Amino acid sequence: MDITKREPETAMRDQKTNSSKQIRKYILTCMILVPLVPMVVILAIGYFYFTSALTSTSTATMRRIAEDHRQMIEAFLMERKTDLEFVLYTHSFDDLRRQERLGAVFENLLRKSNAFADLGLFDENGLHVAYRGPYHLAGKVYKEAVWFREALEKGHYISDVFLGYRNIPHFIVAVSREVDGRKMVIRATIDTVMFNDLVKNVRIGKTGEAYLLNREGILQTERRSGGSLMEKDPEIDTPLVPHPGIQTLVKTGLTGQDYLYATIWMNDQKWELVVRQDKAEVFKALQTTVYLVVLAVVLGGGVIVATAVYLAERIVVRIQKADMDKGHLQNQLVRAGRLAELGEMAAGFAHEINNPLQIIKSEHALIETILEDLKQKQVLTESEDMADLEDSIKQIVLQVNRCAEITHSILKFGRKNKAEIQKVALDQFIPEITKMVQKKAQVQGITVQQHIADDTPQVYGDPAQLQQVLLNLCNNAIDAIYARHGSSGGYLHVEAGPDPDNMIWIKVADNGCGIDEENLQKVFSPFFTTKPVGEGTGLGLSICYGIIAGMGGKMEVSSKSGEGTTFYVRLPTTG
Amino acid sequence: MNVQGMKMMLVDDEERFLSTTKKLLAKKGVDVLTAAGGAEALRILASKTVHVVILDVKMPGMDGIETLSIIKKDFPLVEVIMLTGHGTVETAVEGLKSGATDFLSKPTDIDELLIKAEEAYEKRLRLEEKIRMAQSRKIMKSPREIIKNADRT
């Protein structure tokens, strides 16, 4: 079999499946993209604005911390310098070279700040003249020492951390003064522990730290994350270059950690204060945001997709059902149209048949007349053949009359719907109708009975429409009886009588298959039929209902499934 | 029933019906003219006296109702009986309203046809009588009136 040649029905069904696939795809695309795209866009915009705000805030905070810290350290150093200067300006050289005097001065200094570890006096030749402190340093000469020369030149000097004669890391503050042509220098050692704590103790989250580096990149204070005094910072290869202001940057450490740095130079550009924090910690909020955003996208997207799929499915199912219903209705409409056409054609046939019938009738009349003549002229004699001949001829006219009746009832029925209200006498009208269905009922073994009460008044109505209603009810009854009883045992009763309030009632009762309770309410609805596809349009009863309502009457039904049905028609009387 | 002198015409598009009915009526002593269509019918009416026309409603060309209206216009004294195959009340009513005297439903009895034709003929005779009476009344005036009229003229 050629695959490309499909039956029209299969092709149409495939087309319908394709179109519902298309609809589903279309709905899904719209319902997913339309909410999803704005959501993602909004989240992205929010995320970017948030991250940039967070970055600038964090950076600003670091800078502020660096600045504040630097100021504090500078203030500390400045104060120590000023302390020593004060000493120099309030004491003479000879004063200070006396051990007890130096001692008292040192005690005073200690009271001001316990940063001082020792105190020493030097003459202009660099000779350590007096000393107060824990080490044995008196007598040493420092004429060539850088610190001494700088102190004499600039009036003050703060050193880097160095080991010196003591072999322990320390740094010194020295100031000089010239009095009467003689220069003198005092020098104090700063307690590195205390200074360390000063620089180190800065609270910046968990991973934040501050430390000092000199130009060679050598630690001047301990680094919390690893690095003791006088160690070279392994991350720095080249000598550091002082820069103005505060610099912030992100650098990867040796351990692979990313740090956010804020650097600022101090102490006459000799030391770099480095404040840094683990980048991950700085931007922890950022990370959380990323997770939240991703979660929102996943969840929101999931909800959107799930809703879209569910709704799309429901909509497609609805559309398919509507299409199917539409198809059914269309089929029924087509059938109804076809039947209506048939009705009209029947009228045409009836017209056409009347002509030949007329001819047959007149031919028959002629034959009879000629026969009479021949009999009178004694050409034909009485005989059995003659009797048969005459009998046959009588039959002809009988059958012609029968045809005529049939065509007349068809024509009366198939008239165009121009209702002509007349007085209808039911006692004559109903028998006409029962006569019409008599033959059909008899063939199916149905007993047709009618009873019209004697005092039944006349009604106003269009006889043709009334005929339509009653014929419809009778035909329905016959179908129902056939469905239940087959070809024998059915009865159909048509009765009529007066009803209170100037009405009459007509009853059409049968012992057919009855109507189910759930269908009973729908029985007058248009297009409702229990007949199989192809039979019945479902229009009959709804049209009848409309006709009776139009006449000012009412139609009701009572039925028991499996037992029978009775239709009641109430109509207003003429009186 | 007096059918003497009744001139009848049968108008129908079925030839067989015309011929057979003509034969039948001839046997009953009635002379019948036939026409196969409206046009032919009008031609015959123009040349011959016809009292009663049996007119088929549905004919090709000029149909029954149209023919009827022309007959009533041009030959108003002719009685027309519509022969309708429709069997419906409407066509009959329409015909009667348009001036037909009566109507018959196909297929009809030949006897019924004759009865209705005779009724129509009677009506025609009575009408002719009234006309004669009216005309003669006009002639038979009182002498005084005649003198008055003569004076006036």
pLDDT tens, B7-41?
A: 999 999 888 899 999 988 888 888 899 999 999 99
**Phi, psi at residue A417, to the nearest 5°?**
-80, 65
Does the pLDDT at position A419 exceed 70?
no
Burial category of A392 from C-beta neighbours within 10 Å (exposed 0-12, middle 13-18, buried 19 and up): exposed
**Phi, psi at residue B33, to the nearest 5°?**
-90, 155
Nearest C-alpha neighbor of A410 from the set A358, A352, A479: A352
Cα–Cα distance measured from residue A534 to residue A331, given in angstroms and rounded to the nearest whole number: 9
CA-nearest residue of chain A to B87? A408
Chain B touched by A408 (CB under 8 Å):
yes
The separation between CA A18 and the C-alpha centre of its own chain, rounded to angstroms, equals 24
Asked if residue A218 lies in contact with residue A233, where contact means CB atoms within 8 angstroms, the answer is yes
Chain B touched by A238 (CB under 8 Å):
no
% pLDDT > 90, chain A:
15
- In the structure, what pLDDT confidence band is assigned to residue A527 with cuts at 50, 70 and 90? low
Residue A29 within a domain: yes
- In the structure, what pLDDT confidence band is assigned to residue B119 with cuts at 50, 70 and 90? very high
Contact residues, chain A, for B18 at CB < 8 Å: none
Average pLDDT rounded to a whole number, residues B61-72: 89
Asked if the Cβ–Cβ distance from A362 to B87 is below 8 Å, we say no
Which amino acid does the sequence have at B84? Answer: T
**Beta-strand relationship, A128-132 and A156-158:** unpaired
Chain B touched by A52 (CB under 8 Å):
no
Q: What is the pLDDT of residue B74?
A: 92
3-class secondary-structure state, position A267: coil
Which residues lie closer than 8 Å to A561 by C-beta, 6 or more apart? A513, A514, A515, A516, A517
Total structural domains in chain A? 2
Asked if the Cβ–Cβ distance from B108 to A351 is below 8 Å, we say no
Cα–Cα distance measured from residue A95 to residue A93, given in angstroms and rounded to the nearest whole number: 5
The single-letter DSSP state of residue B80 is E
CATH of the domain at A422: 3.30.565.10
3-class secondary-structure state, position A423: strand
CATH of the domain at A190: 3.30.450.20
Does the pLDDT at position A315 exceed 80?
yes
Residue A289 within a domain: no
Asked if the Cβ–Cβ distance from B106 to A415 is below 8 Å, we say no
Cα–Cα distance measured from residue A313 to residue A28, given in angstroms and rounded to the nearest whole number: 9
- Chain A 117-176, CB below 8 Å of chain B: which residues? none
Asked if the Cβ–Cβ distance from B107 to A354 is below 8 Å, we say yes
- In the structure, what pLDDT confidence band is assigned to residue B71 with cuts at 50, 70 and 90? very high
Strand order across the B32-35 sheet: B32-35, B8-11, B52-56, B79-84, B102-105
Residue A330 within a domain: no
Domain end, chosen from A282, A316, A341, is at: A282
Report ipTM (2 d.p.).
0.72
Does the pLDDT at position A222 exceed 60?
yes
Residue A500 within a domain: yes
Please indicate whether residue B88 or residue A45 has the higher confidence score (pLDDT): A45
Quote the tokens at residue A424.
Answer: 């209808």
In A240-313 the beta strands, taken as DSSP E runs, fall at 247-252, 258-266, 271-278
Residue A509 within a domain: yes
How close A417 comes to chain B (CA, Å)? 12
Asked if residue B22 lies in contact with residue B34, where contact means CB atoms within 8 angstroms, the answer is yes
- In the structure, what pLDDT confidence band is assigned to residue B55 with cuts at 50, 70 and 90? very high
Nearest C-alpha neighbor of A104 from the set A76, A139, A130: A130
Asked if the Cβ–Cβ distance from A365 to B86 is below 8 Å, we say no
Pick the CATH number of B8-124 from 1.10.1200.10, 3.40.50.2300, 1.20.120.140, 3.60.20.10: 3.40.50.2300
- In the structure, what pLDDT confidence band is assigned to residue A456 with cuts at 50, 70 and 90? confident
* Domain boundaries, position A557: 417-572
How many alpha carbons fall within 13 Å on the CB side of residue A472? 22
- In the structure, what pLDDT confidence band is assigned to residue B48 with cuts at 50, 70 and 90? very high
Average pLDDT rounded to a whole number, residues A191-213: 87
